[in-house]
Amino acid sequence: MENNPKRYMTTREAAMRWNIFPDRVSELCRHGKIPGAAQENRRWKIPADAPHPLSPKGPKK
pLDDT digits (tens, 9 = 90+) for 1-59: 456 577 999 999 999 999 999 999 999 999 999 999 999 999 999 999 999 988 776 45
Cα–Cα–Cα angle for 39, 43, 11, nearest 5°? 105
Residues 6+ apart with CB under 8 A from 48: 6, 7, 8, 9
Rg of the chain over Cα atoms, rounded to whole angstroms, equals: 11
pTM of the complete model: 0.80
Amino acid at residue number 47 = P
Given a contact cutoff of 8 angstroms between Cβ atoms, the answer to whether 15 and 50 are in contact is no
